Amino acid sequence: MPSRRSFLALSTAFSLVPLTGASAVTQVVGLYRRGIGDIVVTALLDGHLSMHPDELLSGSDPETNASLLRQAFIPGDTVDTSINAYIIETAGRTILVDGGAATAFGPTAGNLSAGLAAAGVDSARVDTLFCTHLHPDHIGAFTTDGTASFPNAELMVHGIEHGFWTDGANFAGAPEMVQTFAGMAQGAVGAYADRLRLIEDGAEVAPGVHAVHLPGHTPGHTGLMLSSNGEELLIWADIVHIGPVQFARPAATIAFDVDQPLAATTRAGVLKRVAADRLEIAGAHIDFPSFGHVEAAGEGYHFVPSRWDHTL
């Protein structure tokens, strides 16, 4: 159960996200395909959120943040953080992993539908919506005006995640912003109430695609492990939000974490494992197209983006 303090931090954090007035340059549609063995993974860029490390992170002081942003050649004191979703195609299946922010955070996000169209994926073809967690920047495109956007898709989410967001008792007395989030989560799962599949750690989502429970950011926060023909990829969802700081300072937690100590413990474990195993990762808030490796560096880690993929 998150403390009232974490709810307050969450509320404060989101009030800092500019809801209007941000100008977003429209590049070509953010779309990038990778082959993981026989599995095709397409990263889709929904947009971005501007994040201020000093305001949002606990466990990393302003001087450290400034130094790390300078090392990353990022001007100013905010980091534009990608919002990524993914299409997984394997064994005749079409799985959409997360649904972007739609209109929840203003004009800098909400491009997922254009990405799906550019990828040639009609909404009727998507058979599964895999929801890593029920935060607003991951469920936006799942519904249109409150009804299901994907007529043939089953919504798959961890049972703990579903239970957390749909239990009104968890949000009684919570700040209005948090109650709004809960309402959005309930709206998304409600639209798919007749085709909802609640999963647990290790569940097979498709052949070679398995759920990995990574709790802390939210109680049922879940990534996906892809494995095919000797190649592997971990889609780790929200393990890292502000990469230029959190790879170097993995103990730094973000205000959006429902359980910050558990989020830090989970992040530490995942980073240690992927660095030791040289396991490629992709992340919802890693710079698009978001694929790369993690190597140990100093007291933390360093992210090495994957090279451009010329072949599938």
Q: Which residues bind Zn ion (CB under 5 A)?
A: 137, 238
Residue placing its CB nearer to Zn ion in the complex, 89 or 257: 257
Contact call for residues 259 and 307 (beta carbons, < 8 A): no
Q: How far is the CB of 2 from Zn ion (least distance, A)?
A: 16
Residue placing its CB nearer to Zn ion in the complex, 90 or 236: 236
Q: How far is the CB of 223 from Zn ion (least distance, A)?
A: 12
Longest CA–CA span in the chain (Å) reads 53
Sign of CA dihedral 270, 282, 264, 61: positive
Place of tokens 């299901």: 148
Q: Which of 100, 107, 85, 188 is nearest to 145 (CA)?
A: 188
Residue placing its CB nearer to Zn ion in the complex, 49 or 248: 49
Residue placing its CB nearer to Zn ion in the complex, 104 or 199: 104
- Name the H helices within the chain: 4-15, 53-56, 62-71, 112-118, 159-166, 176-191, 243-246, 260-277
Angle at which helix 4-15 crosses helix 176-191, to 10 degrees, equals 90
Residue placing its CB nearer to Zn ion in the complex, 162 or 241: 241
Q: How far is the CB of 232 from Zn ion (least distance, A)?
A: 23
Q: How far is the CB of 208 from Zn ion (least distance, A)?
A: 25
Q: Compute CA distances 99 → 62, 131, 228, 269, whole Å.
A: 33, 8, 25, 26
Q: Compute CA distances 238 → 50, 132, 167, 300, whole Å.
A: 16, 8, 22, 18
Q: How far is the CB of 155 from Zn ion (least distance, A)?
A: 17
Q: How far is the CB of 238 from Zn ion (least distance, A)?
A: 4
Residue placing its CB nearer to Zn ion in the complex, 238 or 287: 238
Residue placing its CB nearer to Zn ion in the complex, 242 or 274: 242
Residue placing its CB nearer to Zn ion in the complex, 137 or 257: 137
User: 172-196: string of b/e by CB count within 10 Å (b at 16+)?
Assistant: eebbebbbbbbebbbebbebbeebe
Token pair belonging to 117: 């169209």
28 contacts: CB under 8 Å, gap ≥ 6: none
Q: How far is the CB of 99 from Zn ion (least distance, A)?
A: 11
**Backbone φ, ψ for residue 170 (5° rounding):** -70, -20
Q: How far is the CB of 247 from Zn ion (least distance, A)?
A: 17
Residue placing its CB nearer to Zn ion in the complex, 208 or 220: 220
Per the rule left: phi > 0, alpha: psi between -120 and 50, beta: everything else, 29 is: beta
Q: How far is the CB of 227 from Zn ion (least distance, A)?
A: 24
Q: Which of 283, 303, 275, 274 is nearest to 240 (CA)?
A: 283
